[in-house]
Chains A and B, each alone.
Chain A
């Protein structure tokens, strides 16, 4: 199972919006609404930010939103803040009843 493809890095100024893509195949992202997004600041465990494509857990700011089209899911951070600087990973359930993560994207706040 190959990792889902994400851009290595994205950046934006405070207040701007950034979008991270997560491209898979018809065997994972394209077939299931079981895509999640995780935020991982350096040296810490990942934190769930979005589940089932577009749902936010309690406590996650509504600046974070998710969507999906075909084999590509996306995470958008609106109104970028300094505290959003971290690595972000997508994940998806697969047709093999396993899970696959994305390659990871470093978000930098300029």
Chain B
């Protein structure tokens, strides 16, 4: 079945970087954009950016430009989201989501909790 499986929880110190992976299965990886969305504890959803797995092209939310990098490895149908210069405000759950059609996130990963603490 179509699914996205993310890497496990991470604990990082302030100033460090984190890289989260998202492995796709059950569909053609290069046929759909892959988005990253994050959610702070008890808070709402926030769009981080997206990657086109076919071309590698990216588009990031203004808030994260300069600090986020999205990449992919088509040989293993996996996308990555790396965020640098972490602060306590980056203690959130990161979700990857498949982009369907125009602006729809139809399949979601299970989420990856990233905790930033000294």
Which residues on A are within 8 Å of B, measured CB to CB?
1, 3, 32-36, 38, 45-48, 51-52, 57, 89, 91-93, 96-104
Q: A46-B105, A48-B104, A89-B45 are in contact. List 14 more A-B contacts (CB 8 A).
A: A32-B102, A32-B103, A34-B104, A38-B105, A45-B95, A46-B108, A48-B105, A91-B103, A92-B103, A96-B62, A97-B59, A98-B62, A100-B47, A103-B44
Are A102 and B95 touching (Cβ within 8 A)?
no
**How far is A89 from B109 in the complex, measured between Cα atoms in Å?**
17
B61's closest neighbor in chain A, by CB? A98
In the complex, 15 of the A-B residue pairs with CB atoms within 8 angstroms, ordered by the A residue number, are A1-B61, A3-B44, A32-B103, A34-B104, A38-B45, A45-B109, A46-B95, A51-B100, A51-B104, A52-B102, A52-B103, A52-B104, A99-B35, A101-B45, A104-B45
Secondary structure call for the B interface: strand
CB-CB < 8 A to B89: which residues of A?
Answer: none
Are B108 and A36 touching (Cβ within 8 A)?
no
CB-CB < 8 A to B61: which residues of A?
Answer: 1, 98
